[in-house]
A = this chain, B = another copy of it.
Amino acid sequence: MALQRTHTCGELRKSDTGKDVVLNGWVDTRRDLGGVIFIDLRDRYGKTQIVFSPQDNPQAHALADQLRSEFVIGIKGVVEERDSVNINPNMPTGEVDIRCSELVIYSKAETTPFEIKDDTKANDDIRLKYRYLDLRRPSMQDKLMMRSKAYQVIRTFFNENEFCEVETPVLMKSTPEGARDYLVPSRVNPGKFFALPQSPQTYKQILMVSGMDRYFQIVKCFRDEDLRADRQPEFTQVDVEMSFVNEEDIYALMEGLVKKTWKELVGADVQTPFPRMTYDHAMNTYGSDKPDTRFGCEFVDFSDIVGKSEFRVFSKTVADGGIVAGFVVPGQGVLGRGVMDRLTDRAKTELGAGGLIYIKNNKDEVYSSVGKFVSEDITKEMVAKSGANEGDLLLILAGNRADVLNQLGGLRLIVGHEYNLIDYNKYNFLWVTDFPLVEYSAEDGRYYAMHHPFTSPKEEDIDKMETDPLSIRARAYDLVLNGSELGGGSIRIHNRDVQSKMFRLLGIGEEEAQEKFGFLLGAFKYGAPPHGGIALGLDRLMMLITGAKSLREVIAFPKNQKAQSLMDNCPDVVETKQLDELHIQLKPMVK
């Protein structure tokens, strides 16, 4: 290291004028103006302009002539104030430049495959392959710094609240529930496998049984599943568990965490406590268990009004036990036929709706797309019930209840984004509560836990476990922000009898339960406290807080949608020798 830096590239100000300084960094831009060379030198902290003049030091000037973008250099020089006409008000260092007296080139650079600047046109694959260049872009560095700050804010919060941070194992036992485990063969235990955790759920419950009282961890979790656009095979979770608590304790704690995080990271004052909504209300009103409450468009059920209509789509749907429901789009009564046709198409193709019915409640005319079949009285009654104002549009779907709610939910989001109903500066947090304990899979002929098998049913619903499982509400809750699930959790079962009932309900036999969860059930024999917890998805939280469009923007080295890292080309084939040592071999491919 020839030149030990005295300052970073974001640090020097007018008040530093006259100082001898050393800076290190990357050549961001280089201009040659009539023999004088100007360099913007860049590091994580900012940019500073360096001036090479043949008068100051002919040798440095000659060397500077070789400089190209992304060369790594060190320079020594004197800080000088810029002439007022040359001041750059857009750079914090814009009032000074450094007159260079010495230049050292640490490392040259080939021409980069894309330009290092924030508004890159490089596609995702190129950016991922050259992630080390992509991460040089200031906007990416800002996101990583923001994430770094988030870790510290979150951990400090839990520390101040007497939580104990515990590292749970990454090499653990494979469990049968939920999405797929990554398996890890053990060399020293032939034929046996570890699994990577989908969540440290059982360990954090064990920690409660062991009396740790309050646990948290920011922890990597893993799922080997087909990737959707917004999933990563390894993801980071803020994991929390507490003893001797109820739902209110968890809500209050997490609201405190969110309030502090938003304040310190983006300076926003989040209002607490957060509103709460039952799962049933969310589904019936927004067609989603994670409703975006930044805008209205709440659903209205017209079944009672249209059941008597002569229009068979309406009357038959209702007669068959389905519903006719819709919502008001404020001010969009003006939309023309073409737009409505395209919206109808989207409802059909993207949401699987049979069709889209609409009413335009305009001053001069109340127009119904099914006006030929439905009496004006019924149309007006519908408008009245919907609360639509003059100039509003009413969108309506008919069909079986679950489908209509689901499709309306999708339609509501499309319309919300398309017609500027959403205030993107809002942070609408929401607790969704009272989830069903189980759901029934007709395909598999069995019940599945809606959260996981350790979720406690509500006290007052326990007696329905053998009679009416679908009506049981769980002590489970999700934290929702602007229509995204930030996380979820529950009060757990700490009573062995209830746990046994739960396993029975899920068709998990005594033996299987012992085999898979024996250690947790065993632990419960020796005194388990009432306990509960929650886990937040940190990647999604960072995505929402930075306004990023993808999880990949807030993860330093993400995988692509095929669970591959394009930068270091993994996963990859390995040598047979390595597999031999692990006592496994590839399965012959069936062609």
> Which chain A residues have a beta carbon within 8 Å of chain B's beta carbons?
1, 4-5, 8, 24-26, 42-45, 70-72, 74, 106-110, 112, 130-136, 141, 144-145, 147-149, 151-152, 155-156, 159, 163-174, 180-196, 202-203, 206-207, 209-214, 220, 222, 224-227, 233-234, 236, 243-246, 494-495, 518-519, 523-530, 555-557, 559, 562-565, 567-574, 578-587, 589
Other A-B pairs beyond A44-B214, A183-B184, A190-B589, 9, CB < 8 Å: A1-B246, A107-B495, A170-B222, A171-B571, A183-B574, A189-B563, A203-B556, A207-B556, A220-B220
Bound together, the chains give a CA A134 to CA B206 distance in angstroms of 11
Which of B555, B563, B569, B587 sits near A583, CB closer than 8 Å? B587
**Nearest-neighbor residue (CB-CB) of A495 within chain B:** B107
A572's partner among B26, B136, B174, B585 (CB-CB below 8 A) is: B174
- For A196, list chain B residues within 8 Å (CB): 170, 184
Which one of B165, B174, B518, B565 lies within 8 Å of A169 (CB-CB)? B565
> When the two chains form their complex, are residues B584 and A171 in contact, meaning their CB atoms are under 8 A apart?
no
Tell whether A171 pairs with B528 under 8 Å between CB atoms, given A151-B165, A159-B152, A183-B574. Answer: no
Q: In the complex where A151-B165, A170-B234, A585-B585 touch, is A133 in contact with B210 (Cβ < 8 A)?
A: yes
Pick from B45, B134, B148, B568: contact of A166, CB under 8 Å: B148
Task: Please state if A203 and B557 are interface contacts (CB–CB under 8 Å).
Answer: yes
Do residues B580 and A587 form an inter-chain contact, with CB atoms below 8 A? yes
Q: Given A220-B170, A570-B172 in contact, is the A212-B564 Cβ separation under 8 Å?
A: no
Residues of B within 8 A of A112 (CB): 526
Across-interface contacts of A529 in B (CB, < 8 A): 24, 26, 72, 106-107
Chain B residues, CB < 8 A from A106: 494, 528-530
Q: Is the CB of B133 within 8 A of A526?
A: yes
With both chains docked as a complex, state the minimum distance between the C-beta of A462 and any C-beta of chain B, in angstroms.
15
Contact call A181/B578, Cβ cutoff below 8 A: yes
Give A514 Cβ to nearest chain B Cβ, in Å. Answer: 11
Q: Which of B156, B202, B570 contacts A171 (CB 8 A)?
A: B570
A220 and B574 within 8 A (CB): no
Given A169-B234, A203-B557, A556-B167, verify A107-B528 contact (CB < 8 Å): yes
Closest to A136 in B: B211
Contact assessment for A166 and B556 in the assembled complex, using a CB-CB cutoff below 8 Å: yes
Q: Nearest Cβ in chain B — how far from A572, in angstroms?
A: 6
Residues in B whose Cβ lies below 8 Å from that of A233: 171
Cβ-neighbour of A519 out of B110, B224, B519, B567 (below 8 A): B567
By a CB distance below 8 angstroms, the chain B residues around A209 are 132
From residue A213, how far is it (CB to closest CB) to chain B in Å?
4
| A203, A211, A236, A246, most chain B CB atoms within 10 A | A211
Q: Shortest distance in angstroms between A128's beta carbon and chain B's nearest beta carbon? A: 11
- CB neighbours (8 Å) of A194 from chain B are 182, 570-571
Asked, given contacts A26-B211, A210-B131, A586-B584, whether A184 binds B181 with beta carbons under 8 Å apart, the answer is no
User: Are the CB atoms of A227 and B188 closer together than 8 Å?
Assistant: yes
Kindly state the separation between the CA atoms of A214 and B45 in the bound complex, as whole angstroms. Answer: 11
Residues in B whose Cβ lies below 8 Å from that of A210:
131-136
Residues from chain B with Cβ under 8 Å of A133 in the complex: 210, 526
**Are B207 and A573 in touch, CB under 8 angstroms?**
no
Residues of B within 8 A of A211 (CB): 25-26, 42-44, 135-136, 141
List the B residue with the shortest CB-CB distance to A220. B170
Q: Could you list some 20 contacts between A and B, CB below 8 A?
A: A4-B246, A24-B244, A43-B211, A72-B529, A107-B527, A107-B529, A132-B207, A133-B526, A149-B159, A152-B159, A166-B556, A170-B222, A174-B570, A174-B574, A181-B578, A184-B184, A187-B224, A192-B571, A206-B557, A585-B585
Contact B530 A1 (CB under 8 A): yes
What residues of chain B lie closer than 8 Å to A562, measured between beta carbons?
188-189
Most chain B C-beta atoms within 10 Å of own C-beta, residue among A132, A172, A225, A574: A132
A186 to chain B: closest CB distance in Å? 4
Smallest CB-CB separation from A110: which chain B residue? B525
A172 touches B565 (CB 8 A): yes
Q: A526 and B70: CB pair below 8 A?
A: yes
A494 touches B107 (CB 8 A): yes
Q: Measured between alpha carbons, how far is A130 from B168 in the docked complex, in Å?
A: 16
Contact of A578 among B183, B214, B234 (CB under 8 A): B183
Is the pair A71, B527 in contact by a Cβ cutoff of 8 Å? yes
Nearest-CB residue, chain B, relative to A169: B557
**Which among B26, B168, B182 is the interface contact of A184 at CB below 8 angstroms?**
B182
Instruction: Report A66 CB to chain B, min CB distance, Å.
Output: 13
Instruction: Select A165's contact among B135, B148, B571, beta carbons within 8 Å.
Output: B148
Instruction: Rank and list the top 7 A-B pairs by shortest CB-CB distance, nearest first.
Output: A135-B210, A109-B527, A192-B571, A173-B570, A70-B527, A186-B571, A24-B244
B-side contacts of A579, CB under 8 Å = 183, 584, 587
Chain B residue numbers with a CB within 8 Å of A586 are 191, 583-585
Complex contacts, A236 vs chain B, CB 8 Å? 167
Q: How far is the CB of A453 from chain B (nearest CB, A)?
A: 16
